[in-house]
Chain A
Amino acid sequence: MTTITPAERGTLARIRRVGAGPDLPRPSRAFLGIGLLAVGLMVLAPMLLTDFRLNQLGRFICYAIVAVGIGLAWGRGGMLTLGQGVFFGLGAYAMAMHMQLADAQLQGEQAPGFMSTFGTELPWWWEPFRSELFTLGAVLLLPAVVAFVLGWSVFTRRVKGAYFAILNQALVFAFAVLLVGQQGTLNGSNGLSGFQSFLGFSLYDPVNRRTLYLLAAGVLILMVVIAYWLMRSRFGELLVATRDAEERVRFLGYDPALIKTTAFVVAAVMASIGGALFVPLVGIISPAEIGVVPSIAFVIGVAIGGRATLFGPVIGALAVAWVESSLAESFPSAWSYFQGLLLILVIALLPGGVASVLRVTQVRRRRRDAEDDGGSGGLHDDGAGGGSADGPETAPGDSPAGPPVAAVLGWEQKGEQ
């Protein structure tokens, strides 16, 4: 292409060195991290924790699975997904309906117990959830379709940033209201609970519960691997480029709406999987679990951990959930103050999350002794800027050297042809 500015050369050098878009660990380090996570969650935790604590950790893992998706859509794609409760709820309710029907069948009844209390017949749309395969399909496809319709219609009209966040939030609000209203068919605000078996295995058996925990942990590891693979792919680079400079990506011939919708759909499916695992682990799903506040709570863990990093969302979600339940056990009101304060401080002072502390110092050190990088502008803006930039008009302060990745993309594209 034409001339490359020093800042772009700096980013280029980094991308060559790291082998992927900015902010991503090298494959060796990423796999070391994934390995550590796997050993910690799947070997150490079952050895060290009591059954009760392990089950609790299982619940946090469900949140972490949602967080991986948010990290992709928000951290990498710049779309603040405030409505993940919708997708979490779709997955959770699909699974819960299946388990209710399976339990009812075991007891030789046609419909779940609460329906007879309200005097309702089994509605037709419950019927297919008798099948395990249909349920699995619903968990994976239903959120994908909803997210695609919403994302595609919103992103092609170039609705973004705050508007997108508000629409998402309104959607989750309406979804929770809708569920509360379904008294006779989904047990309203009480939600679905009292499950006895999962895929034919009794939930009262501690061995089965441990297996279920291991399943959740395994799914989390798998999701992290998928996220890493996506982030390293061309799609991942395009996603970051769209976040930083949507117009440039459009001029290069890509469709930003398609890129953003894809990330949104992936995040939605991950949230749905988290929800589907939540139900057998925790044993209840209700509108209170998925409303506006829980949806923002999903985001809080990601923000604190580090939205644009690979492990930040996972560690953040696990840590925040753990601190919450241990604090809330002894001081219920202290947690709210702590959560609010932490959110304000991290967002205001450390937009990249706790994970960025390491990076910020790293970049500073590197800038001091790296002459071969050519310039420091490109290094700086992808560190602290995080996912906050949702377009050139709103983030002039965030990217002083212009969006380097988009420039790199154009350059790389030419090299390939």
Chain B
Amino acid sequence: MDMILSQLVAGVSVGSILLLAAVGLALTFGQMGVINMAHGEFIMVGAYTAFVLQGIFGHAGISLIVALPLAFLVGGLLGVLLEQVLIRHMYHRPLDTLLATFGVGIILQQLARDLFGAPAVDVRTPSWLQGSVELLGTAVPVSRIFILGLVIAVVAGLSAMMTWTSLGRRIRAVVLNRSLAETSGISTRSTDRLTFFIGSGLAGVAGVTITLIGSTSPTLGMSYIVDAFLVVVAGGIGKIKGAVIAAFSLGILQAFIEFSTTASIAKFLVLVIVVAFLQIRPQGLFSVRTRSLA
């Protein structure tokens, strides 16, 4: 029983990181149906933002609190720039956006390598996030609980925005039927831009939180992007609910398989399970019912 509970806690912890990395991607992927491979590099940019701020402030607690909103801003602006310059010209060609944004990712990675060096750097964890607490018979690091809380706040905020604000309604309308939304007077251009701002900003936030559990290197984004895509695909495009369930399922699944095998075999099996799952539900957990004939 203790074993199950501790794996459950570990799985939820992995899932919360997955969800943070994937939630922004789910938003931008759903919006235009294009794949932003540079999303992982936006996460990396967020992590380096935290690193730079730590150098400026010195105090780990203050720099973390400043880093969260600033990384959102930096990531968001990068996303808008990318959308404006590249993605909007190619949204009929989703596979080509994948390659083109991968090119952007290569450049950002190299930029990070030239600016901060190839070896990984560390961001100090504030004292109030150090240590661990006893939870269901397992010692859980406080930073992990902080990340879980942050994810809950992000998802709640995002759901509230999608449900109640006019921007959220505009986003949902464009995801459901772009041309009908356009005909109804919604500016799809500005909706696209805002969606990319928020989605990419969330990548920046994810980057800051990832510094709490590991070191930061130029290839940080690469190690999260594949998992993030799997979460989005398994959850169903354009559905936050799907991303939440998929992220925690995959996290818990991985924790449990890892317990009986090794980390690498667990990763492999999780992928096989996702592929098998897509056989049953090709559209993911939750599919957006559209009126288009796709």
User: Measuring CB to CB, which residues of chain A are less than 8 angstroms from any residue of chain B?
Assistant: 78, 80, 82, 150, 153-154, 157-159, 161-163, 165-167, 169-171, 173-175, 177-178, 180-182, 292-293, 296, 299-300, 303, 333, 336-337, 339-344, 347-348, 351, 387-388, 390-391, 393-398
Bound: A153/B292 CA distance, A: 26
Bound: A161/B110 CA distance, A: 28
Q: Are A166 and B230 in contact (CB under 8 A)?
A: yes
B189 to chain A, nearest CB (A): 17
Q: Are B96 and A169 in contact (CB under 8 A)?
A: no
Beyond contacts A165-B95, A170-B229, A348-B90: 6 other A-B pairs, Cβ-Cβ < 8 A, are: A162-B33, A162-B98, A178-B264, A292-B222, A344-B100, A396-B92
Lowest 10 CB-CB distances: which A-B pairs, in order? A181-B264, A343-B103, A340-B106, A336-B110, A340-B107, A393-B294, A344-B103, A340-B103, A174-B271, A347-B100
Contacts A165-B95, A348-B89; A170 near B226 (Cβ below 8 A): yes
B274 at interface by CB-CB < 8 Å: yes
Interface CB pairs A-B, < 8 A, 28:
A80-B98, A159-B282, A162-B94, A167-B233, A169-B226, A169-B229, A170-B226, A170-B271, A173-B271, A174-B270, A181-B262, A182-B264, A299-B99, A333-B114, A336-B107, A341-B107, A342-B103, A343-B102, A343-B106, A344-B86, A344-B100, A347-B90, A347-B103, A348-B89, A388-B93, A388-B95, A390-B95, A393-B293
Residues of A within 8 A of B271 (CB): 170-171, 173-174
Bound: A173/B267 CA distance, A: 9
Residues of B within 8 A of A391 (CB): 294
Q: Are B96 and A347 in contact (CB under 8 A)?
A: yes
- For chain B, the count of residues having a C-beta within 8 Å of the partner chain is 45
B5 at interface by CB-CB < 8 Å: no
Residues of A within 8 A of B229 (CB): 166, 169-170
A242 to chain B, nearest CB (A): 15
Question: Interface centre among A157, A296, A344, A393, by most B CB within 10 Å?
Answer: A344
Q: Are A398 and B92 in contact (CB under 8 A)?
A: yes
How many interface contacts (CB-CB < 8 Å) are there between A and B?
141
Q: Are A180 and B98 in contact (CB under 8 A)?
A: no
Q: Are B226 and A173 in contact (CB under 8 A)?
A: yes
Q: Are B275 and A397 in contact (CB under 8 A)?
A: no
Residues of B within 8 A of A166 (CB): 35, 226, 229-230, 233
B158 at interface by CB-CB < 8 Å: no
B288 to chain A, nearest CB (A): 14
Q: Are A339 and B233 in contact (CB under 8 A)?
A: no
Residues of B within 8 A of A300 (CB): 99
B109 at interface by CB-CB < 8 Å: yes
Q: Are B95 and A348 in contact (CB under 8 A)?
A: no
B183 at interface by CB-CB < 8 Å: no
Which residue on B lies nearest to A344, using beta carbons? B103
Bound: A336/B109 CA distance, A: 9
Bound: A162/B103 CA distance, A: 17
Residues of A within 8 A of B104 (CB): 340, 344
Bound: A409/B33 CA distance, A: 31
Q: Are A397 and B92 in contact (CB under 8 A)?
A: yes
Q: Are B92 and A181 in contact (CB under 8 A)?
A: no
B265 at interface by CB-CB < 8 Å: yes
- Residue in A171, A173, A333 whose beta carbon sits within 8 Å of that of B113 in the complex: A333
B214 to chain A, nearest CB (A): 16
Contacts A157-B282, A178-B268, A337-B107; A167 near B275 (Cβ below 8 A): yes
B156 at interface by CB-CB < 8 Å: no
Q: Are A394 and B267 in contact (CB under 8 A)?
A: no
Contacts A167-B278, A336-B110, A394-B93; A175 near B230 (Cβ below 8 A): no
Residues of A within 8 A of B113 (CB): 333, 336
Q: Are A161 and B107 in contact (CB under 8 A)?
A: no
- Residue in A170, A177, A180, A182 whose beta carbon sits within 8 Å of that of B230 in the complex: A170
Bound: A394/B92 CA distance, A: 5
A188 to chain B, nearest CB (A): 9
Residues of A within 8 A of B270 (CB): 174
- Residue in B99, B114, B226, B275 whose beta carbon sits within 8 Å of that of A154 in the complex: B275
B263 at interface by CB-CB < 8 Å: yes
Which residue on A lies nearest to B294, using beta carbons? A393
Question: Interface centre among B33, B86, B96, by most A CB within 10 Å?
Answer: B96
Question: Interface centre among A182, A299, A340, A387, by most B CB within 10 Å?
Answer: A340
Which residue on A lies nearest to B292, using beta carbons? A393
Q: Are B103 and A339 in contact (CB under 8 A)?
A: yes
Bound: A414/B267 CA distance, A: 50
- Residue in B33, B93, B264 whose beta carbon sits within 8 Å of that of A180 in the complex: B264
B279 at interface by CB-CB < 8 Å: yes
**A-contact bits for B17-38, CB 8 A (1 contact / 0 none):** 0000000000000000101000
Residues of A within 8 A of B100 (CB): 343-344, 347-348
Residues of A within 8 A of B35 (CB): 162, 165-166
Question: Interface centre among A153, A157, A348, by most B CB within 10 Å?
Answer: A348
Bound: A173/B262 CA distance, A: 16
Residues of B within 8 A of A171 (CB): 271, 275
Residues of B within 8 A of A182 (CB): 264
Which residue on A lies nearest to B113, using beta carbons? A333
A324 to chain B, nearest CB (A): 12
Bound: A161/B278 CA distance, A: 14
Bound: A408/B108 CA distance, A: 45
Residues of B within 8 A of A337 (CB): 106-107, 110
Which residues of B in the span 85-128 have a Cβ within 8 Å of any Cβ on A?
86, 89-90, 92-96, 98-100, 102-107, 109-110, 113-114
Residues of B within 8 A of A157 (CB): 278-279, 282
